[in-house]
Amino acid sequence: MGFEYIKALHIIFVVTWFAGLFYIVRLFIYQTEALEKPEAERKILKPQLDLMANRLWYIITWPSAVLTLIFGIWVLTYRWGYMQLGFMHAKLAFVLLLYVYHGFSHVLYKELQRGKARWTSTQLRLWNEVATLLLFAIVFLIVLKSTLSMVWGIVGLVGLGVFLMLGIKIYKKYRKD
């Protein structure tokens, strides 16, 4: 299989993985809020949300994470020289953090499937933004291929993080009104 096909498949699975990560945490929020509903509503919502989360997690998100890793390593074998460059070390560090994020999300998934909500819906909204920050870091590093640009990127990420937190606070206030 040619390099461009492998690279395309890697990108496709990165996209589906992120789609799964973004939506699973949204389902976590709904599951958490459903646990706070009266018994009659909870009996209807919880099984449906659990089913949706289960299908998303095991049919889309986990396979996409695995295939991203497989095709990513395969792409790297064609571009092994990149391993000598600082931007690739930084990018791979962020990718490792993304897999840690995925693993911790799996813990949250298992807890919510058992009906245990350790985090509030607001905390989960903030957790969802961690994936956004990692996405920005990884994409900018791989596109710009520069650790110097990474410094400006980190400044931008911090700014983006502040912007996202303000957005969540505004949304929370708007939702209460």
Q: What is the pLDDT of residues 98-133, one digit of tens each?
A: 999 999 999 999 999 999 999 999 899 989 989 988
pTM for the model stands at: 0.84
Cite the annotated binding site for heme by residue number.
10, 91
Weakest mean pLDDT among 4-13, 19-28, 140-149: 140-149
Q: Which domain does 126 fall in, by range?
A: 3-176
Interacting residues of 10 by C-beta distance below 8 A, sequence separation 6+: 68, 71, 72, 74, 75
Place 150 in a pLDDT band, splitting at 50, 70 and 90.
low
Place 73 in a pLDDT band, splitting at 50, 70 and 90.
very high
Q: What share of the chain is helix, strand, coil (3-state, %, to 5)?
A: 90, 0, 10
Tell me which of 116 and 153 has the higher pLDDT. Answer: 116
Place 61 in a pLDDT band, splitting at 50, 70 and 90.
very high
Buried b (16+ CB within 10 A) or exposed e, 137-166: bbebbbeeebbeebeebeeebeebbeebee
Distance CA 54, CA 46 (A): 12
Q: How many domains does the chain have?
A: 1
Identify the pLDDT of residue 151.
67
Q: What percent of the chain has pLDDT over 90?
A: 65
Q: What is the mean pLDDT of the chain?
A: 91
Digit-coded pLDDT (tens) for 43-53 = 999 999 999 99
Cite the annotated binding site by residue number.
10, 91
